[in-house]
Amino acid sequence: MNAYADTNFFTRLYLPLAESEEAWGLLARAQAAASPPLPVTWLHRLETINALQLHVFAGKDRGQARVTLEQAAAAHATFHTDLARPTFLRPVQISPPELEAQFEELALRHTANNGFRTYDLLHVASALFLRCDTFWSFDPKASRLARLEGLEIR
C-alpha cells in the first residue's frame, strides 16, 4: 500500500481528537505491513500549522479550550521532529506547476457536479501525482473525490 494522508488526517495524529485512535491504528497497521512512510508536501506543512491553530480557535468559540495553545505548539514541534527523522512521514517535493495540470483536470471533471473545494482537489491531485493507491482522510468530501479517482479509501 502506498498511502497519502491529507492534513485532516495528520491533525488526528498530533492532537487528541475524536478520530485520533483510529488514525494511529491505521498508521500502525500500515507500518506493520511495511508500507512506505506517508508523503508530506508543501501543502501539508502550510496547512498543518494553521489546522492546529484552528482547533485552538474552535475551542474558544464554544467557550471551552478543546485544544490549548500549548497543545498546538507541542503538536507542531512534534510534526517537525517527525519530518526530520522520516520513520512514518517523508518529505516530498511537488512544485505548484507540476501539480497544476492534475488539479485543473480534476476541477474540470468533478467540481461543477460535486462542489469540491480547492483543499480536496490539491490533496487528491498530490496523491495521484505521487502515484499513491490509498487515500486517508476523515473528510467525507475529500474521500469522495479520491474514490471517484480510483483511490482506495481508509
Which pLDDT belongs to residue 58? 85
Q: What is the pLDDT of residues 29-68, one digit of tens each?
A: 999 999 999 999 999 999 999 999 999 998 776 655 589 9
Domains of the chain: 3-153 (3.40.50.1010)
Return the amino acid letter for 8. Answer: N
pTM exceeds 0.75:
yes
Which pLDDT belongs to residue 74? 97
**What residues contact residue 44 under an 8 Å CB cut-off, 6+ apart?**
6, 7, 10
Which pLDDT belongs to residue 63? 55
pLDDT tens for the chain, 154 residues: list them.
Answer: 899 999 999 999 999 988 999 999 999 999 999 999 999 999 999 999 999 999 999 877 665 558 999 999 999 999 999 999 878 999 999 988 989 999 999 999 999 999 999 999 999 999 999 999 999 999 999 999 999 999 999 8
Which pLDDT belongs to residue 33? 94
Q: In this structure, what C-alpha cell is assigned to residue 50?
A: 494553521
With H, G, I as helix, E, B as strand and everything else as coil, classify residue 118: helix
